[in-house]
Structure 1
């Protein structure tokens, strides 16, 4: 299928698809100057979407995709586990930062309320 049909079926935008192609996350064949998408690209797109929904950045998704070369092996699992552990640590730090911001805002709110 061509890009228009792919976009419709995947409920996405041309910009998103082109970005994923530029980032080498999708690799459709090019025939007569047009991209041709197969079930493989549909599956890849769904995988990318699931990983993005988890909040993973493109650079991490690229690392995970690289690990697919060792699909189903201990090496892949260990590498992906390291990636996920690193991302969990990043999220924990972000949550801590957000919680500190929340506490500061609550403090300021309470101070303002006491002046009213």
Structure 2
């Protein structure tokens, strides 16, 4: 399928598809200077979107793709992906702590303002 058909199939813009091609996350073939996409490219795009929904960076998605390309469906791939995912969990936990601290500070400010208003 041509670029336009692929865009319609996955619901993406031309710029988005080209970005993922430039980042080597999508690797369609070329015929007569035009990209030719297959059902495998649709699967690859869907996998990219699943990882983006987990808020993985492009660099992390590239690492996961490289592991898939090199060690497809092996325990080595799964171990390396597990390590990447566990690192992301640690980042999320750190972010949650930061957000909780911010919330506590905001509550404190809110309470101070309420006290000032009640003292009037």
Same fold (TM over 0.5): yes
SS in 1 for 2:27: coil
Tell whether 2:29 aligns with 1:25. Answer: no
Question: Any gaps of 5 or more consecutive residues in structure 2?
Answer: none
Structure 1 gaps, min length 5: none
- For the residues of structure 2 that align with 1:33 and 1:114, how far apart are their CA atoms? 70
Q: Does 2:69 match 1:63?
A: no
2:73 is paired with a residue whose SS is coil
Structure label with greater radius of gyration: 2
CA shift, 1:98, in A, is: 1.0
How much has 1:102 moved relative to structure 2? 1.1
| Aligned residue pair count | 116
CA deviation map 1:35-79 (0-9, x unaligned)? 111101000000010111111111111111011121121111110
In structure 2, distance between residues paired with 1:15 and 1:99? 37
SS in structure 2 of the partner of residue 79 of structure 1: helix
- 3-state SS, counterpart of residue 16 of structure 1: helix
SS class of match (2:60): helix
* TM-score, structure 1 normalization: 0.95
In angstroms, what is the RMSD of aligned CA positions? Answer: 0.9
4+ residue runs over 2 A deviation? none
